[in-house]
Amino acid sequence: MPVKSQPAALPEPAPAHQASGLEQDHINQALQASQTAIDAISTVVTVSSWALTILAIAIGVIALWGWKTLKDEAGEKAKQIANDRWDAYIKSDEFAALVKNRIDTAVRSEKLDLIMQKLDEIPRDAGDAPPFKEKGGER
């Protein structure tokens, strides 16, 4: 029977370096300094988060106040412009002509109604011709 060869044995790891007392003190100081730096960074992040939150709330309040002010001022300005233009239109010749035309039309209509009423009140006999032509007919 053939003999199986055994795998070569792994070399033994080198023994770990043991730090001297002075080296261990330096390592501990470095670990403490890094922990202090991490704590300082955490504190700065927390403080800046609070500051940014307060700043964001202040900007929001200012924005709402500005929006309300702009809205109110724009409404007042629109009313002022509308009133100025309305006053200018009321004082214009175009409006005076429109009012005169409407009054003339209303007066003519009232006069025509009065004339028609008086014509209806005139006594007529059954054989009298109507005072106006019938629509589509002859007189």
Quick check: is 57 in a domain? yes
58 found inside a domain: yes
pLDDT-based confidence at 129, cuts 50/70/90?
confident
The domain of 40 spans 32-75
117 in a structural domain: no
pLDDT higher than threshold 60 for residue 67: yes
Task: Give me the DSSP letters along 59-123.
Answer: HHHHHHHHHHHHHHHHHHHHHHHHHHHHHHHHTSHHHHHHHHHHHHHHHHHHHHHHHHHHHHHS-
Looking at the structure of the chain, the number of domains it has is 1
46 assigned to some structural domain: yes
Instruction: Enter the pTM of the model.
Output: 0.43
63 part of a folded domain = yes
